[in-house]
């Protein structure tokens, strides 16, 4: 079956530091890949997505590239801000049937001023 593995948190960084959150996946076929973010006290929001190999999703300074050869979709940001403190979830959706999402375990990011 499908699965998503994320690096464990919490990840604690100083403001303006470089961020990488690792995500690898197992799936049949060619899934679509997503990063969702959950800010404190809020619901899940779609951060970015990529639907095929070598696609790069980007939003709010975050980027992730769909790497089929390494089955990875690592999230990166060049300079984090305190407001980026949140829980980040990597997810995949297969291309058949219902296209429900399979989520990773989530990674909590704490950015200190």
Please give the residue ranges that form the binding site for another protein (CB under 8 A): 34, 36, 42-46, 49, 89, 93, 98-106
Tell me whether residue 84 or residue 94 sits nearer to another protein (CB atom). Answer: 94
Rounded Cα–Cα distance for residues 76 and 64 (Å): 6
**With contact defined as beta carbons under 8 Å apart, do 2 and 100 qualify?**
no
Cβ 44 to another protein shortest distance, Å: 4
**With contact defined as beta carbons under 8 Å apart, do 37 and 88 qualify?**
yes
Tell me whether residue 96 or residue 113 sits nearer to another protein (CB atom). Answer: 96
Cβ 18 to another protein shortest distance, Å: 25
Tell me whether residue 16 or residue 95 sits nearer to another protein (CB atom). Answer: 95
Rounded Cα–Cα distance for residues 28 and 48 (Å): 22
């Amino acid at each position: 079956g499908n699965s998503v593995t994320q690096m464990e948190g919490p990840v604690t960084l100083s403001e303006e530091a470089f961020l990488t959150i690792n995500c690898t996946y197992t799936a049949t076929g060619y899934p679509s890949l997503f990063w969702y973010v959950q800010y404190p006290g809020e619901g899940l929001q779609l951060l970015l997505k990529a639907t095929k190999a070598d696609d790069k999703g980007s939003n709010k300074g975050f980027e992730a590239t769909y790497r089929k050869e390494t089955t990875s979709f690592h999230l990166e940001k060049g300079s984090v801000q305190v407001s980026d403190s949140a829980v980040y979830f990597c997810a995949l959706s297969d291309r058949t049937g219902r296209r429900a999402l399979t989520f990773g375990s989530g990674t909590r990011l704490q950015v200190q001023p």
